[in-house]
Every structure is written in C-alpha cells, then in structure tokens.
Chains A and B, each alone.
Chain A
Amino acid sequence: MMRPAEFRNPEQELDRFQRRLAVAGGFVLFAFFLLFARFFWLQVVQHEHFQTRAEDNRISLVPTVPNRGVIADRNGIVLARNYSAYTLEITPGKVADLEAVIGELGGIIDIQPKDHKRFRKLLDESKNFESLPIRTRLTDEEVARFIAQRFRFPGVEIKARLFRQYPLGELASHALGHIGRVNDRDLALIERNGAEDNYRGTVHFGKTGLEQKYEFELHGQAGFEQVEVDAGGRAVRVLARTAPVSGNNLILTLDTKLQQVVEKAFGKRRGALVAIEPSTGGILALVSMPGYDPNLFVDGISPPDWETLNTSEDKPMVNRALNGAYPPGSTFKPFMALAALELGKRTPQQAISDPGFFTFGGHTFRDDKKGGHGMVDMYKSIVQSCDTYYYVLANDMGIDAISGFMRKLGFGSRTGIDIEGESEGVLPSQEWKKKRFRKPEQQKWYAGETVSIGIGQGYNAYTPIQLAQATAIIANGGVIYRPHLVKHIENIGTGERTLVEPLPLQTLSFKPASIATIRQAMVGVNKEGTGARAFAGAEYVSAGKTGTAQVYSLKGAKYEAGKVQERLRDHALFIAYAPAEQPTIALAVLVENGGFGAQSAAPIARQVLDYYLLGKLPKSAAPEDAEAVEDE
C-alpha cells in the first residue's frame, strides 16, 4: 500500500477533493436542468408547432387529376379523348447529376436524342421540383425493367398518367386546338380564376382552339388523397380519399364527315372554309389548310417538330379561317347590292352602260371584261360579276354609308365564335383610316379609294368566318346567330346536357324584296353565271358568288395567272348557300393563291354541298377549272 507522504495533509486534500466533487455534482444538476428546460421549451411551449410539422411531414395531400372531358362531333364521333400510359419522370430538384442519371437510365430504357431534347426544353420552362417526363408511353417490359432497378434512381419515378389523344390526327386541328404543359401564363390565368387548388396536380392546359376556350369545362374537379409518406416521400398508405370529378364533355355542332370531305377537297391547296348552319349559327365545318397534328403537342413538342411546323412557308399553325384577313374580292358584291337596295341607292331594274372601265379623278378603274358588259342591271352585275357597276355604286354611296351597312353584317368585327384570338379584319371607313395612319395626309380618306372598295378590294380585309357569317345572314333572311362550335356541354356524372346558344342574337329587318333580289341573283350565279361551270348538273338549287382577291398589284399590266409566281397568284374565293329556298348550309371558301374564284374555290364548294345535301363522297381533291374566268 502507498504510504502518505510526510508533509501531506490528508484532511485538507480530501476536503478539497470533495469540494471539487460537489462543484462537479452541482454542474451536473445544472446541466440536466438546462436539458430539462430545453425539453420543456420544445415539448410543452412549442409543442403545437412541432406537432403540426410532424403532421405535415407525415401527411401529404396528393391531388388526383380528373379525367379531361371528351370532345365529340354532332354525331358522336370522338375527336379528343384520353388514354392511360406510363411515363418515366424525373424530379430535377432531387437529382444531383441529371446528365449522369439520364445516361444511366438510357441503359435500361430506350431514350432517344429527341426525348432528351424535349426534356431539356421542359427543364428550361419549369420549376425544379416539378416532375418532368423523360420518356412517355413506356411498354410494360420497360416498366418492369425500371421497377427492378429503381433503387438506383432516387428522384426518378414511373407514373401512370392520362394522355390526351386526338384520334383523327390533323382533322379539325384548328377547331379542336391542343393542350400542352402548363406554363406561367396558364398559371396566371388559373390564379385569376381562383382555381389553383383544383389545378394542383394538373400538368396540361388547353393552349388553342376549343381545348383552350373550354378549359375550365373540360378540366373537371380534382380529387385528393391524404397519404402518409415516409422521409423519402414514398406513400406508405392512403388515409382518406376524395374522388375526382371528370370534366364535362363537349358535343360539337361540327360534322366530322363534312370536315373530312372539305379537307380532302382542298387536297394540297392552302386556304380555309367555314360552313355554318344558318338556322342555328352552328359551325358544320371549320377548316384551315394545311392543318397540323395536335398529338405532337400533348407532352411538349420536340424541338425538331416545332422547328418544322414553325418555319414552314405554309404556316400550318395559323388558323386561316379566323385569323387570315383577305380582301373579299367580288364576293363582296352581293352585300354591296343589298346595301344599295336597303339604302335606296339603286333599284333592281336600274341599269348602267358599261364601257369596260370607270374613270374617277384622272384614274381609270378597269373591268376584267374588255369592252365591258354592255347594259348591266343589278341581277346581271352579280351573275356576271361586273366591276364597273360597283365602281359607280360605291362612288355614289360613299365610304361611310358602305362601312355603316357592312358593320351590321358583321364585317370588320369578331363574330364571337367560341375560339380565342379571332381577328377583326379591316372594315375601311374615314374613322378607321384616321386611327390607322399617323401622318395627316395619309389619315385623310380620298374619294378615289372608295371606288375599289365597291369590288371588295382596297383596304377591305375580312376573315373567312366573317364572310361565311355574312352569307349565312343572307341565307337566313337577316336573322343573326352567333357562330359556335359547341352544341352541348355534357356533365357525365349526371348525364345532363346544357344546350349552347339556341337564341338569335339580332334580326336585321331587311325589306323582303331586297333579300329576294340578292338571293335570286346568287342563284343565277350558279345557274348561268361565274359559278355555273362548277355547279353544272347539280341536283339541287344553290346560290353562290365567286371572288378573286389581288395579292399583288401589277400596275397597268394585264394579269395572267400562269405567268405569275405561285405565291403571288390571286386568292380564290367563293361564298354559297343551299338549298336556295330552305338553306341548311352557308359557307365561304378561300384558296390562297388559287387564281380565280371560279377556278379553284367554287369546285371545292360544289363537292362540299354535294356531300352535305346528297351524301356524295368525292373521289379525289376538287379539280381546278383552268377554263374558268372571273367574268364571262
């Protein structure tokens, strides 16, 4: 045993040690009290806060996206529907090295450079925590292969999603429009509508056409699942669930078969056709050629496809029926004649002698027929499309009288069709010119400018749908319906159908005699006038009017279609309705660079009416009538 050193004071030593030990013990108690205080703070004072955070951790509200409504035509043919497919999605925020992960995924699942590019594009447009598709439409085998290895890929998931599908491809693409991934502009719109909650799980949004206009009808009510999740975000179990309510279906006034006939009749030609049921305003066909395949847009269009569509000279993305504004050419004449009758500027019998030109203020306005049409009354002026008659008429009426009357027929204003972004066109008037131009000398309306307005040239520019609508008004004796594509909105839960637009907007009280005169002359066009060749042998009585819109002004020189570059050729127009006594269809056709109206637009109208009234299906695209001329 150790012996204590001599000079040691054991008592004092022990005393000091024990004091130190007491200090240590006191420190222990103090430290434990500190811990207790901390626990008290967390577990009692702050308990509710942490309770909530633990619940937030644990419970995740997962929206279930509702089925988007189906779009079908008037006969129940489906134009837009949904199908379920697996997609491989990456949440960029959860992945450290995106490229490496995509590279590794490529080892299990076929990822094309196209998919990769599209993903890059989506990445640029979206937020980091959104899950973005790298591949869509996985096969069952690919799904199985990924599932087996998914532990290697945190932040990558297989999702079953509903996809929009347009089973008829390009058909009626401009009417249907398409959906695409939700972007910032869509989000702003969703917020304005107070629909953020309903759109929480939604990745797609109507971008154009009916898909856009009826987005909030088609979308439906999102459902929610209360899911218990673990720290990795994986769902452990479902605690509660509210089922989603599918969006409403749209039943259109559109007749798919008619639409098909029209698109076939156009063949490779560019242009537009709008066919309206005069008694309701329902659109029977809305064609803009060329069309595009809306299916390309459903999951974000791939950059090469976008490049192709966007740079094409044919501009397939432009809806010519609603956004193309063209001079109406001679199709304007029946409306001019009606204005003359209604405003008392002409009687049907009043005739002029046509020398083949009209001189005004030192400028000569030529008629297409050399030497003129001789004595021309109103009927002949329409049937033979005499320009001089309308030069004189326009000059007599003055611009403001013309524009005042034309406005009532809907020229120069949006028709109100249920598609967004319709153009107004240009209805020239003194006021319009003042607004349109800056310099005072340009702002003034010159009387000479009125002259060519009379034959549908000059500043005139109208959309095909405005032309079709004006034709329908004539066919309908002055009763105006708003043109529309949706006939019913169908709630698939209750089966309830809401009818859209059964009531006329307005009735223009034309004198019955005036209308009768115009209608008689338009029937004459197809019987013995500029439309007669196209309608030879028709088993019904139809009314029409040809038109040609100048694209390029050949100063003084004689226009010869064959010698002008294709893109500089005149646009061909034709308006028609049939049967003449009880019209069931009114239409306007425009063929870009089609030459004369009688040459390429009227044959299309003939095929369309043959199908609609007789059920005749055309064997090929409508022929070009090379012999047809604007004036006989």
Chain B
Amino acid sequence: MNEFSFRPREWLQRLAAPIDAVLLGFLALLLGYALLLMTSASPERLNNQLINIAVALVAMRVAAQVPPQRLMHLALPLYVGGVLLLVAVALFGDVSKGARRWLNLGFMRIQPSEIMKIAMPLMLAWYFQKHESMLRLRDWLVAMVILLLPVALIVRQPDLGTAILVLAAGFFVIFLAGLSWKVLIALCVGGLASLPFAWTMLHDYQRQRVLTLLDPEVDPLGRGFHIIQSTIAVGSGGILGKGWGNGTQTHLEFLPERHTDFIFAVLSEEFGLLGNSFLLVLYALIIGRGLMIAANAPTLFSRLLAGSITLIFFTYAFVNMGMVSGILPVVGVPLPFVSYGGTALVTLFLGVGILMSIHKHRMLVQK
C-alpha cells in the first residue's frame, strides 16, 4: 500500500467511515431547515452560521473517530478540569450582563460551563461503568455529588439555562443507570417540597421570569414583553404560517433575539403549525435514532453516554420551544442545531460525533 498515493474514492471512504448516514441525513434536513429560517430572520448572519456549521461538522468527525474506550480515559480529566475552570470563573471570571460566566485566557475567552454539558455525562457514565453491578447506596450518593457540584457552581454564575442542561445530562445518566423508582419518586417529592426554599435562593431576575410566565400581562412593555410578543408570533402564524420572510413580528423587531433563542418564534410565525410539526418530527427522528444507538451500545458506559446525549438534545428542544410558546420560563437555552451561535453548535455536534462513534463500535464486543 502506497501511503502517499492519492486515491479520492478511498480517501472519501475513510472520511465517511465513522459517520452514521441515517443520523447525518436527519441532521442535514434539520440544518437545511435552519438555514432557510436564518435567511429570513437574519440574512446577514448566514455566512457566519455556515462557518459555524463547518467547524461543528469537523468537531463531529473528530469525535466520531475516537473510540468509546478512549473517551472513558478522557472522562475524569475533562470533568476535574471543568470543575477547576468553573471555580476559576467564580474567582476570576469576567462579568458580562450581570453574570460571571466567562474566563479570559488572554488570547480567548471560554465558557467552562459549556464543557460540562459533555463532561458531566462522560464522568457519570464512566463512574457507573467502573462500579458496574456493585452499585450500592454509597455509589448513588457519590454520583449525586458529582452531579450537583458543578451544577451549583453554574447556578451561582448565574446561568440557569446551562445549569438545567448540565443537571438534565447527569440526571439522565443516573436514571438510565437504574436508580430505583422509589428513590426517583422520593427525589421528585423532595424537590417539590424544597421549591419554596429554592425560590428564596433564586436571583430577583430569575424570580421575575417565573412570575412573568405566570402572568405576562402584568408588565406588557417590560418583563412580559418577550413572552407576549413571542406568543403573538407563534399564534398569529396559524396553520400554514405567514410565509417565508413575511413574519411581521419577526421583521418589525417585535421579537427579541430572533436569530438565537427565539428563532422558533420565527419558524412558528412564517411556517405555522405545519412547519412546527415538521420540526417536531425531525427532532423525534434524531432522538429516536439516538435512543436506538443507545439501545444497541455494547457497554454500560457507551449505553449511558449515548442515552444521555440523546436526551440532552431533547431537553434543549423541549425547553426552548416551551419557553418560546410560553409554557416555560425564559432561560437561555438555544433551539438545538437551529439557533445562531458557534459554541452551542460545536457542543451539540461533539455529542453527535460521540453517538456515531458508539454506533460504529457497537459490534466490537459482540465480535
């Protein structure tokens, strides 16, 4: 074999080897849909978003290349590093818009909480794999600590959106690992009971968001404005929508953040219930494919990881759509694969890459 000869077909084959065509196919449809929306909502950002997608696809390809066993070795260092960075943020982080979320490394600024979205499921999946079959009460408690420590740090920043995603990612691992229903129910009851306490822990602005959700008309031009206007955008879209580029709420600047967190309102306004349903179906297909990959995964680690990552996609989608349509409070969660922004996209595609890697390596053990 000539190492230096260039054979395009073989080269392409090698490039495509770890890729799951089904998953990528669904994602391609979703990305196409997203770009169509972006062209209406914010055409001047289209080029940037294309670059973001390209970078994210590279990240996906790299992640897909890494076998799950290698990922296991990354789990502990990534998690510990992430927690240390979160502590560093709390101590030396840059404050922007009233929140301390960024760490300035001199040449670039990073948001360590973003790392946690991947590091958390990795760490917990690794932990359960290590203690497989000998899970005792102690292990569940340790898992809880692993989960809650970084979540607490992120809540403190404050960044409720990311905290919810990280919490969900960890919770899914614990749930899939088989925490008993009794404990789960107890946790739920305990959680509900501690709500009044949590309420006092929330920042004023966070409390306002919840109150606003309950009754946006209290302050229609202030805090209720986003919720009211995005609900109007969704409702006025009707069944078929106002047509691409014809959303008055979108184009007359009634919608805040219309290219990022509120892009779903643009979709609802311009493509209506039909367009929304199409999006739901696409997400369902992607999530379905992810769950299938998890079901067929060979090791506990890869099962838990794949399941958790897939359910994270769901969490993103559900929280975002729920917030835009006015059934969940406004938290900073983007619409996965659709909202503008490079960081979230790279994180999401890293997750996709890991799913693909798990899928490609599903036969190893069975062989």
Q: Note whether A and B form a binding pair.
A: yes
Interface residues of A (CB under 8 A from B): 1-2, 4-5, 7-8, 13, 16-18, 20-21, 24-25, 28-29, 31-32, 34-36, 38-40, 42-44, 46-47, 49-51, 53-55, 57-58, 228-232, 236
Complex: chain A residue closest to B321, CB-CB: A35
Partner-contacting stretch, out of B19-27, B141-149, B234-242: B234-242
In the bound complex, do residue B238 and residue A21 qualify as a contact, i.e. CB atoms below 8 Å apart?
no
The distance from the CB of A7 to the nearest CB of chain B, in whole angstroms, is: 7
Pick 15 A–B contacts, CB within 8 A, sort by A: A8-B133, A17-B307, A20-B178, A21-B176, A24-B311, A34-B327, A35-B321, A35-B325, A39-B325, A42-B235, A42-B326, A43-B238, A51-B235, A57-B254, A231-B254
Chain A residues contacting B178 (CB-CB under 8 Å) are: 16-17, 20
> Is B233's CB within 8 Å of the partner chain A?
yes
The distance from the CB of A155 to the nearest CB of chain B, in whole angstroms, is: 12
Q: A36-B277, A57-B232 are in contact. Are A228 and B252 (CB under 8 A)?
A: yes
Cross-chain contact of B237 among A13, A36, A38, A43 (Cβ < 8 A):
A43
Chain A residues contacting B318 (CB-CB under 8 Å) are: 31-32, 35
Q: A5-B133, A230-B254 are in contact. Are A29 and B284 (CB under 8 A)?
A: yes
Chain B residues contacting A49 (CB-CB under 8 Å) are: 235
Cross-chain contact of B272 among A4, A43, A57, A228 (Cβ < 8 A):
A43
Chain B residues contacting A39 (CB-CB under 8 Å) are: 234, 268, 273, 276-277, 325
Q: A28-B284, A39-B268, A51-B236 are in contact. Are A21 and B249 (CB under 8 A)?
A: no
Residues of chain B from 238 to 265 with CB closer than 8 A to chain A in the complex:
238-239, 248-249, 252-254
In the bound complex, do residue A20 and residue B175 qualify as a contact, i.e. CB atoms below 8 Å apart?
yes
Encoded as 1 (CB less than 8 Å from any A CB) or 0, chain B from 156 to 198 comes to 0000000000000000100110100000000000000000000
* Cα–Cα, bound, A47→B276 (Å): 15
In the bound complex, do residue A50 and residue B235 qualify as a contact, i.e. CB atoms below 8 Å apart?
yes
Complex: chain B residue closest to A5, CB-CB: B133
The distance from the CB of B248 to the nearest CB of chain A, in whole angstroms, is: 5
Q: How many residues of B contact A (CB 8 A)?
A: 51
Complex: chain B residue closest to A20, CB-CB: B176
The distance from the CB of B321 to the nearest CB of chain A, in whole angstroms, is: 5
Extra contacts besides A42-B231, A42-B268 (12): CB < 8 Å? A1-B364, A24-B291, A28-B314, A35-B318, A42-B235, A44-B273, A47-B239, A50-B236, A51-B238, A54-B233, A54-B236, A57-B249
The distance from the CB of A245 to the nearest CB of chain B, in whole angstroms, is: 31
> Is B80's CB within 8 Å of the partner chain A?
no
In the bound complex, do residue B234 and residue A43 qualify as a contact, i.e. CB atoms below 8 Å apart?
yes
Encoded as 1 (CB less than 8 Å from any A CB) or 0, chain B from 319 to 358 comes to 0011001110000000000000000000000000000000
Main secondary structure of the interface of A (DSSP, over half): helix
* Cα–Cα, bound, A54→B236 (Å): 6
The distance from the CB of B324 to the nearest CB of chain A, in whole angstroms, is: 10
In the bound complex, do residue A17 and residue B303 qualify as a contact, i.e. CB atoms below 8 Å apart?
yes
* Cα–Cα, bound, A51→B247 (Å): 11
Encoded as 1 (CB less than 8 Å from any A CB) or 0, chain B from 293 to 325 comes to 011000110010001000100100010011001
Cross-chain contact of B325 among A2, A7, A32, A38 (Cβ < 8 A):
A38
Complex: chain A residue closest to B297, CB-CB: A17
The distance from the CB of B41 to the nearest CB of chain A, in whole angstroms, is: 15
Chain B residues contacting A55 (CB-CB under 8 Å) are: 248
> Is B280's CB within 8 Å of the partner chain A?
yes
Q: A17-B176, A42-B234, A50-B234 are in contact. Are A35 and B300 (CB under 8 A)?
A: no
Complex: chain A residue closest to B176, CB-CB: A20
> Is B137's CB within 8 Å of the partner chain A?
no
* Cα–Cα, bound, A46→B303 (Å): 43
Cross-chain contact of A58 among B235, B237, B252, B294 (Cβ < 8 A):
B252
Complex: chain A residue closest to B299, CB-CB: A2
> Is B113's CB within 8 Å of the partner chain A?
no
In the bound complex, do residue B176 and residue A40 qualify as a contact, i.e. CB atoms below 8 Å apart?
no
* Cα–Cα, bound, A35→B235 (Å): 13
> Is B365's CB within 8 Å of the partner chain A?
yes
In the bound complex, do residue B175 and residue A24 qualify as a contact, i.e. CB atoms below 8 Å apart?
yes
In the bound complex, do residue A5 and residue B176 qualify as a contact, i.e. CB atoms below 8 Å apart?
no
Chain A residues contacting B94 (CB-CB under 8 Å) are: none
Interchain residue pairs A-B with the least CB separation, the first 9: A50-B235, A54-B236, A42-B235, A230-B252, A8-B133, A50-B236, A231-B254, A231-B253, A43-B273
The distance from the CB of A532 to the nearest CB of chain B, in whole angstroms, is: 78
* Cα–Cα, bound, A4→B133 (Å): 9
> Is B134's CB within 8 Å of the partner chain A?
yes
Complex: chain B residue closest to A25, CB-CB: B291
Chain A residues contacting B273 (CB-CB under 8 Å) are: 39-40, 43-44
The distance from the CB of A10 to the nearest CB of chain B, in whole angstroms, is: 9
Complex: chain A residue closest to B236, CB-CB: A54
* Cα–Cα, bound, A17→B303 (Å): 8
Complex: chain B residue closest to A9, CB-CB: B133
* Cα–Cα, bound, A44→B239 (Å): 6
In the bound complex, do residue B294 and residue A21 qualify as a contact, i.e. CB atoms below 8 Å apart?
yes
The distance from the CB of B279 to the nearest CB of chain A, in whole angstroms, is: 10
The distance from the CB of A571 to the nearest CB of chain B, in whole angstroms, is: 61
Cross-chain contact of A44 among B233, B238, B253 (Cβ < 8 A):
B238
In the bound complex, do residue A46 and residue B325 qualify as a contact, i.e. CB atoms below 8 Å apart?
no
Chain A residues contacting B311 (CB-CB under 8 Å) are: 24, 28
* Cα–Cα, bound, A21→B133 (Å): 18
The distance from the CB of B146 to the nearest CB of chain A, in whole angstroms, is: 19
* Cα–Cα, bound, A16→B179 (Å): 11
The distance from the CB of B230 to the nearest CB of chain A, in whole angstroms, is: 10
Chain B residues contacting A54 (CB-CB under 8 Å) are: 232-233, 235-236, 248-249
* Cα–Cα, bound, A39→B277 (Å): 9
* Cα–Cα, bound, A403→B56 (Å): 104
The distance from the CB of B294 to the nearest CB of chain A, in whole angstroms, is: 6
> Is B229's CB within 8 Å of the partner chain A?
yes
> Is B219's CB within 8 Å of the partner chain A?
no
Complex: chain B residue closest to A229, CB-CB: B252
> Is B288's CB within 8 Å of the partner chain A?
yes
The distance from the CB of B287 to the nearest CB of chain A, in whole angstroms, is: 6
In the bound complex, do residue A25 and residue B288 qualify as a contact, i.e. CB atoms below 8 Å apart?
yes
> Is B208's CB within 8 Å of the partner chain A?
no
Complex: chain B residue closest to A7, CB-CB: B133
In the bound complex, do residue B134 and residue A230 qualify as a contact, i.e. CB atoms below 8 Å apart?
no
In the bound complex, do residue A31 and residue B268 qualify as a contact, i.e. CB atoms below 8 Å apart?
no
* Cα–Cα, bound, A57→B254 (Å): 8
In the bound complex, do residue A5 and residue B134 qualify as a contact, i.e. CB atoms below 8 Å apart?
yes
Complex: chain A residue closest to B277, CB-CB: A36
The distance from the CB of A559 to the nearest CB of chain B, in whole angstroms, is: 72
The distance from the CB of B320 to the nearest CB of chain A, in whole angstroms, is: 10
In the bound complex, do residue A43 and residue B276 qualify as a contact, i.e. CB atoms below 8 Å apart?
yes
* Cα–Cα, bound, A236→B132 (Å): 64
> Is B39's CB within 8 Å of the partner chain A?
no
Which residue of A13, A42, A55 has the most chain B CB atoms within 10 A of its CB atom?
Answer: A42
* Cα–Cα, bound, A20→B327 (Å): 26
* Cα–Cα, bound, A44→B273 (Å): 8
In the bound complex, do residue A21 and residue B365 qualify as a contact, i.e. CB atoms below 8 Å apart?
no
Chain A residues contacting B102 (CB-CB under 8 Å) are: none
The distance from the CB of A57 to the nearest CB of chain B, in whole angstroms, is: 6
Chain B residues contacting A4 (CB-CB under 8 Å) are: 132-133
> Is B79's CB within 8 Å of the partner chain A?
no
Chain A residues contacting B229 (CB-CB under 8 Å) are: 57, 231
Chain A residues contacting B295 (CB-CB under 8 Å) are: 17-18, 21
* Cα–Cα, bound, A231→B252 (Å): 6
Which residue of A7, A50, A51 has the most chain B CB atoms within 10 A of its CB atom?
Answer: A50
The distance from the CB of B329 to the nearest CB of chain A, in whole angstroms, is: 15
The distance from the CB of B69 to the nearest CB of chain A, in whole angstroms, is: 8
In the bound complex, do residue B283 and residue A32 qualify as a contact, i.e. CB atoms below 8 Å apart?
yes
* Cα–Cα, bound, A36→B327 (Å): 12
Q: A28-B314, A39-B273 are in contact. Are A53 and B268 (CB under 8 A)?
A: no
* Cα–Cα, bound, A228→B291 (Å): 48
Chain B residues contacting A13 (CB-CB under 8 Å) are: 133, 300
> Is B129's CB within 8 Å of the partner chain A?
yes
Chain A residues contacting B365 (CB-CB under 8 Å) are: 1
Chain A residues contacting B233 (CB-CB under 8 Å) are: 54
Chain B residues contacting A57 (CB-CB under 8 Å) are: 229, 232, 248-249, 252, 254
Chain A residues contacting B268 (CB-CB under 8 Å) are: 39, 42-43
